[in-house]
Amino acid sequence: MIATVTLPAFSTTSLSPSLLDNLETLGYHTMTEIQAQTLPLILAGKDVIGQGKTGSGKTAAFALGLLHNLNVKRFRVQALVVCPTRELADQVAVEIRNLARAIHNIKVLTLCGGAPMGPQIGSLEHGAHIVVGTPGRIEEHLRKGRLSLDEVNTFVLDEADRMLEMGFEEPLQYIIDHCPTTRQNLLFSATYPPKIEQLAEHVMKAPHKVTVESKHDSSSIEQYFYEVDDNDMRLNATQKLLLHFRPNSAVIFCNTKAQCQEVCDALSQCGFDAASLHGDLEQKDRDRTLVRFANQSLSVLVATDVAARGIDVDHVDMVINYHIAHDPEVHVHRIGRTGRAGKKGVACSLMSYKESHKVNSLEDYLDITVEPTDLPNDNVFANPISRAPMVTIQIDGGKKSKLRPGDILGALTANNALKGDQIGKIKVTAISSYVAVERKLANAALKTISEGKMKGRNFRARKLTR
């Protein structure tokens, strides 16, 4: 008989009744494995290193810890969370706000590059309890004297491995130097390369290291490997796999930004609803791409590993490794984008003879023998391309114009222009709003919004196609 492991409930921790009640309303009853192992240590005030894959519950673990340490009556920055990208910082801030709903008058501020400086300066003047941001922008505000970290009691490095990969050592050091020496340090990372170990030794005091197994249940992911000779064959193979498996959503991982753009452009020319996500894109383009992929207006996302940390999508049908990842842990992290929440997923990896050393490392790490599979034959080119089911309409108005999702939904369903079930996700940001509608109704929806009124005024709108 196989023993089953029952993970403890949040109620077994020393969290305050208000935080526990809010967790209950959010549907968070039982802790995930990484929460069960790290949260008691965090609540006891220990420094913690947590290693686990995306989706394992790391954010809630450190967020509950910093909220536990917070004195809401003291209107000073008491917790600092540093993330590698704006997309991840935004996600973390949203989760902290959700977990803090039972705490009155709490202020969580995001400070990220790629966003206007003026509103951030204004927000800093009004103060905050928790700051979530990217290293460069936090450093900039510190240097200009706009941000004080003198009362920080909890310092969090989220996705620390990616921050070091992106060359943020100097800004991180500057930030650390401006924090009190007596503080709690929490470092979370999907992988744990030597550089992270060095950082931990420098920043933390007697940390407790928790590693949650990152190898995925093979029953939920069908993993295939295909041999290719050159880059032309890689692109041909990618098209074949997309036409053969016909995923509703697929992420193609490339090792460089240039490869990313090249593959995306080629697939777009072939008729796929594809977009790229990498560090050379302007922030507004990255934001739009993430919105479109999350609301099913894009079926193929071509991304670098760093950029993909910002993808907030419940399930991806398929992952393609255009090249084998340099690090076996990164490979596991990539394929973990699919096969989530009990759903089946497909992971396809293209490999050449020159990558045999990386394949050998992968075999050792996963304890598997890689057996190449034959690529689908040329008959798949007769298959129709799976188009994304939705189209995104961008509206030139957002929270600053007092627009809410209900206003957009109401405008689209007025006079039976569209039905509620023909409208997908609605996202409202500071100055723009995005709404997904069924592809066949995109023109009608655009006409309805452009010619109608919301909040008593007209708003310009456009379909996002690239």
Please report the pLDDT score of residue 54 as a whole number.
64
Contact status, residue 184 vs residue 154, Cβ threshold 8 Å: yes
pLDDT in tens, the chain (466 residues): 333 446 788 999 999 999 999 999 888 888 988 999 999 999 999 999 998 766 678 899 999 999 999 999 999 999 999 998 888 898 899 999 999 998 888 999 999 987 888 889 998 998 899 999 999 999 999 999 999 999 999 999 998 888 887 888 899 999 999 999 999 999 998 777 788 888 888 889 899 999 886 544 556 788 999 999 988 899 999 999 999 999 999 999 998 999 999 999 999 999 999 999 988 888 888 889 989 999 999 999 999 887 666 676 767 899 999 999 988 888 888 888 887 766 789 999 999 999 999 999 998 888 888 999 999 999 999 999 989 999 999 999 998 899 999 999 999 998 788 888 999 999 998 889 999 999 999 999 999 999 989 998 899 999 998 7
Contact status, residue 68 vs residue 84, Cβ threshold 8 Å: no
Percent of the chain as helix, strand, coil, to the nearest 5: 40, 20, 40
**Residue 371, C-beta contacts closer than 8 angstroms, at least 6 positions apart:** 225
Domains of the chain: 10-211 (3.40.50.300), 221-382 (3.40.50.300), 390-464 (3.30.70.330)
Sign of the torsion formed by the C-alpha atoms of 188, 191, 192 and 193:
negative
Please report the pLDDT score of residue 1 as a whole number.
32
Q: Using alpha carbons, select from 234, 276, 245, 274 the residue that is nearest to residue 346.
A: 245
Angle between helices 86-99 and 17-25 (to 10 degrees): 110
Is the pTM of the predicted complex or chain greater than 0.85? no
